[in-house]
Structure 1
Amino acid sequence: MDKNSKKWRLQLLGSSPWLLGAACILLLLVIAFFAVSNYTREKQLIKTAIEQKGLTLVRFINSAVRDSVRSKLMDPAYEKWEIHMQTALELAAEQPGVDSIVLADKNGNIVVAAGEKNSARTTVDPEELELIRLVSATQEPRWRTQIIQQSETGEKKALLASAYAIPGFPGGTKNIGHRGMGAGRFRFSQHFSAFQEDFEKLNTLAPVYLVQLDLSQFTAPLNRQLIQIILELAAIALVGLGGTLSFFTLRGLKGSEKKLDKMRTFNEIVVSSLPVGLIATDENGLIQVCNGAAANIIQLDPHKCIGKKSQECLPTALYQLLGQKNDGGNERQEIFLDPDSEKGRKTLDVTVVTVSATSAIPAGEVMLLRDLTLVKQLEAELQRSERLAVIGKMAAGVAHELRNPLSSIKGLALLLKGKLEKESSDTMAVNTLVSEVERLNRSIGELLDYAKPGNLLREPCAIDGVIEKTLSLIEPDITSLGIMVEKDFSPDIPLVVVDQDKISQVLLNIFLNSLQAMEDNSMERLLKIYIRGAGNTVLVRITDNGSGISEEHLKRIFDPYFTTKSGGTGLGLALSLKIVEEHGGKLLISSVPGIQTEVQILLPSS
């Protein structure tokens, strides 16, 4: 059964589509022939209906005039023939579908008229005059019909012209009153001569009726039939066109499938080669696409995550962005790697786009990832460099403008101190002046140290030894505050090539900050020091359980002159960061307010 079906489809694809086209054209010609015949017949029927209605109106007018004249035979007042005719025309013009009725002589002069069109005119239009002449020139038939177009509105009207028949009084106009109904009393009417004169004059004019009818009442069925014919022809044409296109579509199906396979392969190559990470999920939240860039950015195996839920594979900060209506907007998210990692913190630019099958049904989501870590680092370094340049210029000016006057002030203060009594209040004031001058000199020195390029005396050394030496400097403070120091040093720590004095200064700043943060801690005070070697890097992690740093302050801790201490200069951490970076390392700080603060120092090993 399957083989027969396949064979039939192959034969169908091999047949010529022109056969169907020829059959459709033949059917179209047959329908067109019958349509034209029906249309012609309908037009003839409309013409007959127009003539019948117009002639019926003419007979009605003639009958009404004749009856009106006979009813007024013996009245004392004489009414002219035009009065009887005007009344009859107005009655006829009131009929539905009648626009106007005119009785005009053979020269086109209007004798009597009724209807909207004939309220002011005295002569007929050229088209109407031509029709009057045709009727007057022929014996049979004594009427003519014509379709005219009004110049004012552009509407088409039906116009019937019919010769006027003198009322059938016995003996004609010369023998009025000799025979027939009412002839006896008409002969004795005092108006006999007036009637006879009117009808003789009327006979001389050879008047013609012009009946104008509304054509829409006759053409409405014809228009409907015409529309029906057009629709039938259009349907046959569309069937033929659709059949032909179907054949061409079927014959091109195989080629389309090949092109689709090539396009699918090309798309897969493009997606896998993109420098931007791409993750696509379907409507059920299952991952369908994960390219190599995304796998490298978030460190996962792309083959293992296909077909799984996003929350099973992606970091929490990423999969929480999926399933939200973002209308293609961008949302930036920072992702923190394992603190032990060499790469530290990563900053990603994340764009989630909802792909909709319809306006209400989502077909899935596409997440684009771009690693901005290096860009952010370069921006931060550029900002620090700009600040350093500004501070350097300012430091040079400060050193030149302030140090010499400060030296003079200090010298004069010491000279004054020698002339005062040792225990006097003036001596105490001079001592205060000298100490403040010295403090200002130290601040200027720190500023110059921060601004000027570092001259490092690098030499291989053990970082744990530098830490032990620095801890010995603050041993009294550690003991007085009751702080427990917990050391976790790896036995195989590689040597680092650093300037020991500079690195000791960095460690001293960090240790002092930790001690000050734990002063208000009423619980057990703990300082942890952790050292590990990782590849070409040595990691030093220092953790305290002090008051911590708020998120707002954490963003600015490396800014020069930013401090939350009443007596601080705000240059300690800024100078420490500068020293570590001059060694080619990194200084990272994270904190949970009220719980702990963690400082990571990454230094290159020898």
Structure 2
Amino acid sequence: MPPSISTCPFPEKEPDRVSPMDAIFQNRWFHFLFRKRLTISLFVIMPLVVALTAFASGFIALVLVEYYLPGTPRSLHSESGQPVSEMVHWIRMEVLAFTLLGGLAGAGIAFAILDPLRRVIEGARQVAQGDFTRLLEIEHLDELGILGKNFNQMVDSLNRHFIDSMTAGWVVANTSGKILSINPGIMKILGCKAEDLVGQPVEQLARYLRFEGRMEDLISQAVNRQQVVSGKEFDAVTQDDRKVHLSLSTTLLKDKDDLLVGVAATLKDLTLADQLTEQIQRTDKLVALGGMAATLAHEIRNPLGSIRGLTQLLDEEFSPEDKRRTYTHTMIREIDRLNGVVSNLLNFAQPAPGERHPCDVNGLIRQVLGLAGPQLDQAAARVHEDLDPQLPPVEADDKQLVQAFLNLVLNAQEAIQPGGAIRIVTRRLPPDPGRGKGSAAAVRIQIQNDGEPIDPAILDRIYDPFFTTRKEGTGLGLSITHQIVVQAGGTISHSREGTFTVFTVDLPDAGKPAESPSSGAGKPDPSSSTLAS
């Protein structure tokens, strides 16, 4: 955790001093004459001003000389000599006047050139310090205007092709702790807009990201001690209460004199990478467990068949009144139950692809409630159906979907207290590009129960095979359900909404009419304890 710092971690920055020449250039008359009006090409105006000044100076001198030539009323041959001194006086005044005029014209041209150049230089300096939002306002229509336009295009291109395309978040602050620029990556992570942060102190980041420590402390540490962090990982909560796993790195920004001018902080959202890593690990584990389960299932099923056959032969040897038949019947029943466990192991290890066709989800839900009726009645469950009558069909194997929905309903029945409530909701979802396989419409099935919430410590394990919190059960129910939903191109998730635990299944819209499910074919046995985790 970064060390605590003072309430004002960033040094105060002295205000920029304005030189006398800057004051002249900032005069409104200069702006009026040379910023707004001079739009002639510098290639034309500079030679023209110099040529006119030189021409005017010589031309007036010639006029004065002609005025005092012999034969004129003020001839240079006058005995008093006054015309000579008067001519020299006027030539001197003319030279001084045009010198002043040339100086003013030069100052005007210098301002017309230097003012936009100074803004280009200042803009380049700001960009070098990390402010990639800096744009120039040069209203000239000449080469300088083109220069300003090209500079803005360069900054815009840099933003689009480098800063904006970065998947990581980017925050740049100066040495005073003022945020200079951010990129869309950081806006996506924090859930904010550029105007919410640019120009604000870095303390403003705390409004959008909460974690153990403060980002402004890390930035001030880089400014004051020139200490950077690299790949510092931490868990945080965003403004909209999303939990994210982030990586933070800071970089010092220095000028050509190796003086610190700012700090760039890079935030990478590792949440998706963590999910992908977890999914890969889960897949590897499932492959290993699947192979083991298949081997065990085959090794167990063969002796079970022999044991059941011999038990039946033994049962036939006893008379109907023989009490020993009670034992053989118990043996056969338990062998059948064990065979059901083996069948579930095989279904998990080597799932059949099934026959995919358009299915009526509402019809399958009603079929499931019929199958689970005895268990629901035994628990005195209050079942409420909220089924969308306009629900489109989904493309899947109907028998597998019945298996998946039955597992979820039996899990809900196991979770509630006697007399508890179970709600089943179906809805049609509009197209969404951010969901699953693209922008197709989807069908949402929610199975809710008002039982105790799932322990947060085991939330990440509930879909793992063989994981269960009950004394009876194989822990395969939710694993098989997850497998069936994924095979159908859908997703399954869980949440807590008020007093209800909610399992949500989203399946893609089939886009064509549903077919009638085969009656009674392949119906799961709801009495088997292996169906629920």
Give the TM-score of the pair, scaled to structure 2: 0.55
Q: Which moved more, 1:424-433 or 1:296-305?
A: 296-305
Equivalents in 2 of 1:433, 1:460: separation in Å? 42
**Could you say which residue in structure 2 is the equivalent of 1:427?**
325
**Could you say which residue in structure 1 is the equivalent of 2:52?**
none
Q: Deviations over 1:515-549 (max 9, x none)?
A: 110036x7x53435252313122222222110121
Equivalents in 2 of 1:315, 1:407: separation in Å? 66
Equivalents in 1 of 2:349, 2:284: separation in Å? 11
Answering whether residue 254 of structure 2 is matched by residue 349 of structure 1, we say no
Equivalents in 1 of 2:443, 2:370: separation in Å? 22
Answering whether residue 279 of structure 2 is matched by residue 384 of structure 1, we say no
Pick the aligned partner of 1:333 from 212, 231, 235. 235
**Could you say which residue in structure 2 is the equivalent of 1:403?**
301
Q: Deviations over 1:103-123 (max 9, x none)?
A: xxxxxxxxxxxxxxxxxxxxx
Answering whether residue 175 of structure 2 is matched by residue 292 of structure 1, we say no
* SS across alignment from 2:164: helix
Equivalents in 2 of 1:538, 1:258: separation in Å? 53
Cα contact 1:350–1:367 (8 A) shared by 2:
no
Cα separation, partners in 2 of 1:489 and 1:389, compared to 1, 3 Å:
same
Answering whether residue 507 of structure 2 is matched by residue 603 of structure 1, we say yes
Q: Name the amino acid aligned to 1:426.
A: R
Q: How do residues 11-160 of structure 1 correspond to structure 2 at under 5 angstroms?
A: none
Q: Name the amino acid aligned to 2:370.
A: S
- Give the superposition deviation at 1:300: 4.0
Structure with the bigger RCO (C-alpha within 8 Å, sep 6+) is 2
**Could you say which residue in structure 2 is the equivalent of 1:302?**
194
- Give the superposition deviation at 1:470: 1.6
Equivalents in 1 of 2:18, 2:209: separation in Å? 56
**Aligned residue-pair number:** 352
**Could you say which residue in structure 1 is the equivalent of 2:20?**
5
Pick the aligned partner of 1:580 from 485, 506, 527. 485
Higher alpha-carbon Rg = 1
Give the TM-score of the pair, scaled to structure 1: 0.49
Cα separation, partners in 2 of 1:8 and 1:509, compared to 1, 3 Å:
closer
- Give the superposition deviation at 1:454: 3.1
**Could you say which residue in structure 2 is the equivalent of 1:417?**
315
Q: Which moved more, 1:458-467 or 1:573-582?
A: 458-467
Cα contact 2:235–2:244 (8 A) shared by 1:
yes
Cα contact 1:458–1:497 (8 A) shared by 2:
yes
- Give the superposition deviation at 1:419: 1.8
**Could you say which residue in structure 2 is the equivalent of 1:272?**
164
* SS across alignment from 1:485: strand
Q: How do residues 501-520 of structure 1 correspond to structure 2 at under 5 angstroms?
A: 501-519=399-417
Cα contact 2:354–2:397 (8 A) shared by 1:
yes
**Could you say which residue in structure 2 is the equivalent of 1:529?**
425
* SS across alignment from 1:351: strand
Runs of 5+ in structure 1 lacking a partner?
Answer: 11-251, 340-344, 358-362
Q: Deviations over 1:15-44 (max 9, x none)?
A: xxxxxxxxxxxxxxxxxxxxxxxxxxxxxx
* SS across alignment from 1:555: helix
Q: Which moved more, 1:488-497 or 1:567-576?
A: 488-497
**Could you say which residue in structure 2 is the equivalent of 1:249?**
none
* SS across alignment from 2:494: strand
- Give the superposition deviation at 1:277: 1.6
* SS across alignment from 2:352: coil
Equivalents in 2 of 1:306, 1:368: separation in Å? 16
Equivalents in 1 of 2:246, 2:316: separation in Å? 67
Cα separation, partners in 2 of 1:254 and 1:471, compared to 1, 3 Å:
closer
Cα separation, partners in 2 of 1:460 and 1:299, compared to 1, 3 Å:
farther
Equivalents in 2 of 1:441, 1:293: separation in Å? 54
**Could you say which residue in structure 2 is the equivalent of 1:478?**
376
Cα separation, partners in 2 of 1:277 and 1:324, compared to 1, 3 Å:
closer
Q: Name the amino acid aligned to 1:290.
A: I
Equivalents in 2 of 1:309, 1:423: separation in Å? 91
Cα separation, partners in 2 of 1:261 and 1:4, compared to 1, 3 Å:
closer
**Could you say which residue in structure 2 is the equivalent of 1:493?**
391
Pick the aligned partner of 1:452 from 350, 372, 379. 350
- Give the superposition deviation at 1:602: 1.4
Cα separation, partners in 2 of 1:458 and 1:354, compared to 1, 3 Å:
same
Cα separation, partners in 2 of 1:419 and 1:285, compared to 1, 3 Å:
farther
- Give the superposition deviation at 1:595: 4.1
Equivalents in 2 of 1:3, 1:288: separation in Å? 23
* SS across alignment from 1:273: coil
Pick the aligned partner of 2:125 from 260, 263, 269. 260
Cα contact 2:359–2:396 (8 A) shared by 1:
yes
Cα contact 1:337–1:346 (8 A) shared by 2:
no
**Could you say which residue in structure 2 is the equivalent of 1:571?**
476
- Give the superposition deviation at 1:560: 0.8
Cα separation, partners in 2 of 1:301 and 1:485, compared to 1, 3 Å:
farther
Equivalents in 1 of 2:18, 2:174: separation in Å? 37
* SS across alignment from 2:461: coil
Cα contact 2:490–2:505 (8 A) shared by 1:
yes
Answering whether residue 452 of structure 2 is matched by residue 547 of structure 1, we say yes
